Amino acid sequence: MKCKASQYNYITDLPDGSILIYNALTGTLSQVDHDEGDKVIELLADPENCELKEPWANALLDDLKKCGYLIDSRFDELEWLRTHHRMEKDGSNRLSLVIVPTFDCNFRCVYCFEKVRNIYMSSQVVAGIKQFIRRNIEEQGVKNIDIGWYGGESLLAKNTIYEISGSFSGINYSSSLFTNGYLLDSEVNDKIGDLGITEIQISLDGPRDVHDRRRFLRGGIPTYDVIKENIERIVRKWGNRVKVVIRANLDNDNIDSFEALLNDFERMKGKICFSYARTGDTERSQSRGIHCFDTESFGKKTDRFYDMIIERRFGEIKMPRRVFLACGADIANGYAIDPSGNVYKCMRTMEDPNSKLGVISPDGDLSIDYKELSKWYSQDVFEDAECRQCKYLPLCMGGCALAKMEEGRRVCYFKRTGLGIENRIKRFYAAQMAAARERSEGADK
């Protein structure tokens, strides 16, 4: 069999002279000792003409094939990826929804870009959504449903969440709740299992003094202590059955307090996760004197936070994994629904009436504006010359389609975050080696 190197190989050096090879299509990661590293690089560079004189070379060649670093010269990786992308995109057995039951919010955050409006879902809209879901199950053969509950503040409309979540059974259903955490009281906590909630993301911008000057109730009432108590209650009742993610929105005002925030939750390490994101640069944040980072400087400023989270057991190192879709908006049955029953492809476009795909009627019918829908379907990552050549394509599938439409170009996830593939695979490998040493030392005792 004639071979060629996979176009999705990534090779990086380690301090001891050995190398790491990672393949983005198969997810395989291998460490190769220094004495074999040069030969591996030679084999991958020219597998057909490389002379295999050493006795171990044929075994090495077989290993490279098994791991997907070397492939059959007739195999078209790009077409394989394109085919699976289309199959996943057009699959009709999954319904992925973002539902915003209200635009209202009980917080007045200093940087918020959203317009707070006293708009809640009516009983007619709720009935339409329930029927829309039921028709997808009965008529389209949907077997898997995932819902993300957003706001405003989603829990201001908790009864809507209760009603829609309880309206179907006998299918694979899961949901995620995105909340400021203030209304996660005992009542909501007791219903989490019935609501199919498997993940809750809560925003905290620092320890008490920092958070309370940025994220407060109407009238400036502080919120930190209530939110922390609610998080502790969830962890006590649900443990690891519900993933709790605390997200910090960071800018120059609070970036130096991130470690202090971790300190506040030291007793919950191993039970909750932390993440961080760049505060959006808005007119509201500018008027409050908040200076936001650009993507490159943010990546440099926060690079050490990733290690900090892992070392303190507030997250785990995961290898980048292959995906066939960039996000839920890429799914044929992926929609975002606002409080009035208007339907969009992406939640971020809800402020733009021209981006509306249609409206769900009380009987669950959705008449789609196919001219608007075609804008999303025309964002084919495989028509982008840069993405077709990119070794990271299986990991991001071109990234955010909306960003492509807005900026006229695709925005690479790895370049945007500053956390490149080299750092990711090195950190993962180091963590695996450390775990292996711990197991070995434990066995020797």
Residue 127: its H or E element: helix 123-140
At 45, list the tokens.
């560079």
Across the range 269-292, mean pLDDT stands at: 77
**Tens digit of pLDDT for each residue in 384-405?**
898 899 888 999 898 888 888 8
Residue 50 confidence (pLDDT) above 70:
no
Region 211-234: mean pLDDT is 96
The DSSP code for 353 is G
Least confident range of 166-180, 294-308, 385-399, 431-445: 431-445
Within 13 Å and on the Cβ side, how many CA atoms surround 328?
19
Please indicate whether residue 45 or residue 113 has the higher confidence score (pLDDT). 45
pLDDT at site 282: 58
- What mean pLDDT comes out for the span 407-430? 72
Radius of gyration of the chain (CA): 24
- Which of 124-133, 183-192, 201-210, 347-356 has the lowest average pLDDT? 347-356
Residue 311: its pLDDT value, please? Answer: 87
Is 244:315 a contact under the CB 8 Å cutoff?
no
Q: Where are the beta strands (DSSP E) in 42-153?
A: 70-72, 94-99, 144-149
pLDDT band per the 50, 70, 90 thresholds, residue 406? confident
Q: Does 163 have pLDDT greater than 90?
A: yes
| Higher per-residue confidence, 406 vs 83 | 83
- Where does the pLDDT of residue 445 fall: very low under 50, low under 70, confident under 90, or very high at 90 and above? low
Intra-chain end-to-end CA distance of the chain, in Å: 49
Q: What pLDDT, on a 0 to 100 scale, did the predictor assign at position 108?
A: 92
Give how far Cα 415 sits from Cα of 190, 232, 292, Å. 41, 36, 18
Using CA of residue 412, residue 415, residue 416, residue 420, what is the dihedral sign?
positive
Say if residue 380's pLDDT is above 80: yes
| Confidence at 364, pLDDT banded by 50, 70, 90 | very high
Among 54-58, 110-114, 125-129, 340-344, the range scoring the smallest mean pLDDT is: 54-58
Per-residue pLDDT, 416: 55
Quick one: pLDDT at residue 430? 83
Local confidence band at 418 (pLDDT 50, 70, 90 cut-offs): very low
